[in-house]
Chain A
């Protein structure tokens, strides 16, 4: 019985976990972002200085001139920065898929497979790279651009070749040897290009052995060539902007798409990579070595690949929104909507993107878009419209779009919040006048006008024709002609009639207006005060900047940078980060405050959950800093809500500390000062005071209100150690805990 059952059991296992496994966990209609999963790998958790010491101890690298330590510090700390940035994830579905593809590529070399680690970077850069340590990073941006698994396999094989050939070390050596050469940039470019050709050539070996199709080599190169364009091309026609309510005047819309100008044979004299033409030619030559080629585009199944690529494409939307690339996000969503028309995630992101466009100033928006002469592809049409609209028009369009999203998702709280935030934005704008919104939309007016024309034609009124109209009557009549609306800059007022009639919109708008007017009133009262009275109020506000009156707080790992005369001292910085976190825990206990520290330095309390939370909070901080002048709506709103619930507090503290230790006594003044002894004491003391300079910046963020509660900068001139950090944090945390002062 058992003998008969065993093959069935193995077959079951093979189907569940084997090559053709198909465990799609994600529901794209209710998409949840990918984050790290499983146990934190050593690459993320081990101390960097320990990794460096290990490598030195094990003679991991030999360089000319005994500069191994310089090299190791450089490579390890730059990778640590990346690993801890919040953009890199491990154990997730994308990383697991990449790992699986590599497993197949290296099935004949298990030792190398064991040596290598693969992680995913959540970034829209189309990139993959390998490091000295044996880590290979792949971006979601790269996978979102691919059309099949074979292309991914080639990119991975290429990166594996860079690792096995130790190109990172060779490049470092080459740079050191040539640092004084005047033509070092060109030399380095040639050297780097040789590496690329070599990696392409060696990659073929793994690629061929795995059985992938030769045809996909050239398409892999095409991916790189066109990677600056969105991951898909979907035609934008008038219906993208227009619907039964809204009509965009034709002048704002580009009917024809823009040509794509990417060239294969660009000048690559100063590039690190050869141009695509040369790489294709080189690959064509090298493929001849192999007699037999496979035909596979997908070894793990097309469906699995599409699933993973869709995850990456959904992630690319988030990355665009976080980066303020709202135009790109809107286009990516438009492409994804074809396959996922009912995705609430996409709806929210679309609403958030239109809100972002409405909130930000035009120069900020335009700085992130291509210039009008550089427009390319279908997305060029969207750029054309967005470039040509002014702030008022963008707000009008955004209001229409967000309202449409809200009507489609009336029960979604996040969409409703974004809608409210947009109304708040409109209420605070002088330029957009809600009172001017027409009671009738353009299409209604046009229909009425046409009916009127028909009626007029029916009724012949010769007298009327004899009426001599003045110049001004003609102008007035032309304004009442609905067709003229499309030639005016105020077209948007004729596409929001339904919104104007919406009771909820009017109430929300009026409430925000009232709030704004009351703030203006307070400001006017403040302006009327004497200087002394104003100073008193300002002092009180200054005093209350960090005061929350709450005894619970989330504290995110500090960023510490220690500088000395040679530059940044990474080892000291890392050790101080550890001390700083410990200081926070110590002080929290002392002042009876519940401080939940999310820091990789406290390994006991730092798991994958905390790793992800840190990434979410850091992304939010970046968002707040990037859009500091506006009341940004958090891209990861629901994830932030979860964090709030977990820690039972909505206050988060971030800190950054920069410490510089440099003796600033100039040798040229020492000799004259010897003869002026008392002055020498003053001078040297003054210099000594400035030997240590510390700047600690602390920001407390209110997750509930979605804004910075306060930022404070502290300047110190004393040496920094774990006890001085405790003292600083004692002061800061006690301030945060205390209630706002009333006088």
Chain B
């Protein structure tokens, strides 16, 4: 409800600007003050990767014997469409709607165990799990400001946006490389053994509750953008942006609930995974085409 109110207020402000700004005689690209942009976005979560030890080779000592390959989330791609209305020579406002995809490691590694541990009820699995894939949908009103003698939309501009992002886990069969401790028949020695196919299927089935996989984030965006005209109507645009996503941190562990958990990963755990990843991968490059009319 609060989110809807936030968007309503932002939209009202933008349209107020559109209809009240009168210093717009010379603005726009050759007088064209409406801009539709189609963009591709690339995020390189370098910092997230530095901190996300799941993707670090250093601690995967048994790498060669496992079927699951090391995986790093090097690039996250997305796409988006914007509509911008030029309000004056230096200001424009509009809205961005976009989608992208990113991946997050399932859990932090315990350095001393050299493996991940997954708990569920009375089961303990050790090993690795494929990165979780998430898709996002963003709706973000934004304003644009240009300095010097720049006349929007061409040239360098600064953009600030406030938006809402919904994130959902992509439903698929995630590869896993899980083992469990079993005791030999004498009951003296414990050793690790790959879990049975049945247990694996069960793990996948009950990994997460996909029926309730929507996460919401508020975001603030700052972008440095550049547009260069290539025809009387088309411009290429490119630049980078810093995006700060605000996802509430929630308590994931509650001893009272452990027995009641049906799924291996709770929504809270996922939320915190996304939160930590998004806090560390905030730089995004974008390029695309702008059409003016």
Contact = CB atoms under 8 A, between A and B. Distances in A.
B26 interface: yes
B151 A731 contact: yes
Please list the 3 inter-chain residue pairs (A to B) with the smallest Cβ-Cβ separation, ordered nearest first: A723-B229, A714-B149, A718-B155
Contacts of A715: 148-149
Interface in A693-728: 696, 713-719, 721, 723-724, 726-728
Given A717-B148, A718-B226, A734 B30 contact: no
17 contacts: A587-B30, A678-B242, A681-B283, A685-B240, A715-B148, A717-B156, A718-B150, A718-B156, A718-B227, A721-B228, A721-B230, A723-B228, A726-B30, A727-B30, A727-B151, A735-B26, A738-B25
B224 A685 contact: yes
A713 B154 CA distance: 18
A interface secondary structure, majority: helix
A689 B229 contact: no
Contacts of B155: 716-718, 724
A714 B90 CA distance: 13
Contacts of B156: 689, 717-718
Q: Which one of B25, B26, B224, B232 has the greatest number of beta carbons of chain A within 10 Å?
A: B26
A731 B228 contact: no
B150 A719 contact: no
Contacts of A240: none
Contacts of A681: 240, 283
B287 interface: no
B83 interface: no
Given A714-B149, A715-B148, A718-B155, 5 more contacts: A714-B148, A715-B149, A718-B156, A723-B228, A726-B229
A77 to B, nearest CB: 28
A727 B46 contact: no
Nearest to A678: B283
A716 B229 contact: no
A728 B31 contact: no
Contacts of A476: none
A590 interface: yes
Interface in B228-243: 228-232, 240, 242
A689 B230 CA distance: 19
A678 B230 contact: no
Contacts of B148: 714-717
A293 interface: no
B47 A718 contact: no
Interface string A228-239: 000000000000
A735 B230 CA distance: 24
A723 B242 CA distance: 29
A677 B47 contact: yes
B89 interface: yes
A730 interface: yes
Contacts of A724: 154-155, 228-229
A735 B24 CA distance: 11
Given A717-B156, A723-B230, A728-B151, A734 B240 contact: no
A726 B151 CA distance: 12
B126 to A, nearest CB: 33
Interface string B262-293: 00000000000000000000110000000000
B162 interface: no
Nearest to B152: A727
Nearest to A684: B240
A708 to B, nearest CB: 19
A713 B89 CA distance: 16
Interface string A590-601: 110000000000
Contact of B232 (A714, A721, A726, A734): A726
Contact of A727 (B25, B224, B229, B240): B229
Contacts of A714: 148-149
Contact of A730 (B30, B224, B226, B231): B30
A131 B227 CA distance: 45
Nearest to B283: A681
Contacts of B91: none
Interface residues of A, number: 27
Contacts of A738: 25
A285 B148 CA distance: 68
Nearest to A590: B30
A730 B26 contact: yes
A544 to B, nearest CB: 13
B29 interface: yes
Interface of B: 25-26, 29-31, 46-47, 89, 148-151, 154-156, 224, 226-232, 240, 242, 282-283
A591 B26 CA distance: 11
Contacts of B89: 731
A548 to B, nearest CB: 14
Contacts of A716: 148-150, 155
Interface in A653-685: 677-678, 681, 685
Q: Which one of B224, B227, B242 has the greatest number of beta carbons of chain A within 10 Å?
A: B224
A718 B228 contact: yes
A245 B212 CA distance: 108
Contacts of B47: 677-678
B63 to A, nearest CB: 26
A696 B231 CA distance: 21
Q: Which one of B30, B46, B232 has the greatest number of beta carbons of chain A within 10 Å?
A: B30
B202 to A, nearest CB: 41
A728 B26 CA distance: 10
Contacts of A717: 148, 150, 155-156
Contacts of A696: 149
Nearest to B147: A717
A734 B228 CA distance: 21
Contacts of A587: 30
A688 to B, nearest CB: 8
A668 B29 CA distance: 39
Contacts of A734: 25-26, 31
B231 A723 contact: yes
A730 B31 contact: yes
Nearest to A735: B26
A734 B25 CA distance: 8
Contacts of B154: 718, 724, 727
A26 B282 CA distance: 78
A677 B232 CA distance: 37
B90 to A, nearest CB: 12
A727 B292 CA distance: 12
Nearest to B228: A719
A718 B155 CA distance: 5
A681 B285 CA distance: 10
A168 B230 CA distance: 43
Contacts of A730: 26, 30-31
A235 B56 CA distance: 98
A661 to B, nearest CB: 13
A515 to B, nearest CB: 33
A685 B31 CA distance: 29
Nearest to B157: A718
Interface in A449-491: none
A315 B226 CA distance: 52
B275 to A, nearest CB: 18
Nearest to A719: B228
B258 to A, nearest CB: 39
A591 B28 CA distance: 14
Contacts of A677: 46-47, 283
Contacts of A723: 228-232
Nearest to A731: B26
A685 B226 CA distance: 11
Contacts of B282: 678
Nearest to B30: A730
Nearest to A685: B224
A731 B242 CA distance: 31
Nearest to B234: A723
A591 B231 CA distance: 18
Contacts of B242: 678
A685 B241 CA distance: 11
A465 to B, nearest CB: 83
